[in-house]
Amino acid sequence: MEVRKEFKLMFTSAKYALMREMLNKVTFFSNIIFMILNNASFIIQWIILYSIKDNVGGYSFKMVMLLWALASFSFGISHFFFKRAYNLSNIIMNGSLDNYLVQPKNVLLSAISSDVDVSAIGDIIYGLIVYFVCGFSIDTFILFLIFGITSSLIITSIAVIVGSLSFWFTKSEGFADRMNNMITNFATYPEGIFRGVIKIILYTIIPLGVVSYIPIQVLTNFNLINFLIVIGSCILFIIFAFIIFNRGLKRYSSTNLMIARI
């Protein structure tokens, strides 16, 4: 019941934020369309690359497209529903959490879902278009949707974790930004081109293994264990994000007032 109420509020928040964004239809639609065009421009480099070579890092052209589809789709969902997770440092630093603390809802959820990123709708649409171009079947589509959600929840959790560092360290927003950018940058390259230390990092510190690579493997060749690994990691990341945020929240006050006093 409690969880349902939280989700209801999350969608209501998104609805109102969307209402606000739609007040100006020119900016609204141009934001979406330009995001789609922006994403599409990256495909060109891959088309050129694959005209020279058939295989890059063990990925066929179709797999790279699938990688793009998933990355764009999940990135879109995360940025649309949880835009402010990527701005959490600032929310913590300037004391904006006060507003959510006096409301009878989960602070983290209300804070990160209090705004939407309209251009992320472009990412979502683009991800779906590329997926359909790659070929459609009911079972891969269901898997694609599931992985879209798990990946978006994992990258949101990471954004929350790095954003929450602001409870402990001032001026940590730069680090949070770079971490979030890194995930987006790496997520659109075939796994096989990375080796050694970088590969280890991609499966640990920057968990792109569970965000991109394993889902792509499962999408092209279903494997139950890998599927469960993704679901399990997603749950773990969410729990971890909540724990870190709630730990930090106990310190919230001091950071807030220190800023005000300095």
Partner 1 sequence: MSIIEVKKLKKEFKVKLKEKGFKGTIKSIIKPKYKKIKAVNDVSFSVEKGEMIAFIGPNGAGKSTTIKMLTGILHNDSGSIKVMDLDPKKDRKQLAYEIGCVFGQKEQLWTHLTPYDNFKFFGAVYDIPETVVEKKINELKELFELDSFIDTPVRNLSLGQRIRCEIVASLIHEPKILFLDEPTIGLDPVVKDNIRKLIKRMNKEYKTTIFLTSHDVSDIEKLCKRVIIINKGKVVLDDSMENLKYHYLNKKILDCKCKEEVNLSGEEGINIIKNKGVNLKIEVDTNKKSISDALKLLNPDNIIDINISNVPLEEIISNIYNDGE
Which stretches of the chain bind partner 1, using CB under 8 A? 5, 8-9, 12-13, 16-17, 19-20, 23, 95, 97-99, 101-105, 110, 250, 252-254, 257-258, 261-262
Shortest reach from residue 95's CB to partner 1, in Å: 8
Q: State the amino acid at position 113 in one-letter form.
A: S
Least Å distance between CB 169 and partner 1? Answer: 11
- Looking at the Cβ atoms of 11 and 132, the one nearer to partner 1 is 11
| Nearest distance, CB of residue 134 and partner 1, angstroms | 38
Do 118 and 31 touch, CB atoms closer than 8 A? yes
CB 176 within 8 A of CB 163: yes
Which residue, 113 or 151, is less far from partner 1 as judged by CB?
Answer: 113
Beta carbon nearer to partner 1, 95 or 192: 95
Q: b/e string for 74-106 if b means 16 or more Cβ within 10 A?
A: bbbbbbbbbbbbbbbbebbbeebbeebeeeebb
Q: Hey, what amino acid is at 257?
A: L
Measured distance CA(108)–CA(116) in Å, rounded:
15
Closest contact distance (angstroms) between CB of 29 and partner 1 is 17
Q: Which is nearer to partner 1, 15 or 62 (CB)?
A: 15
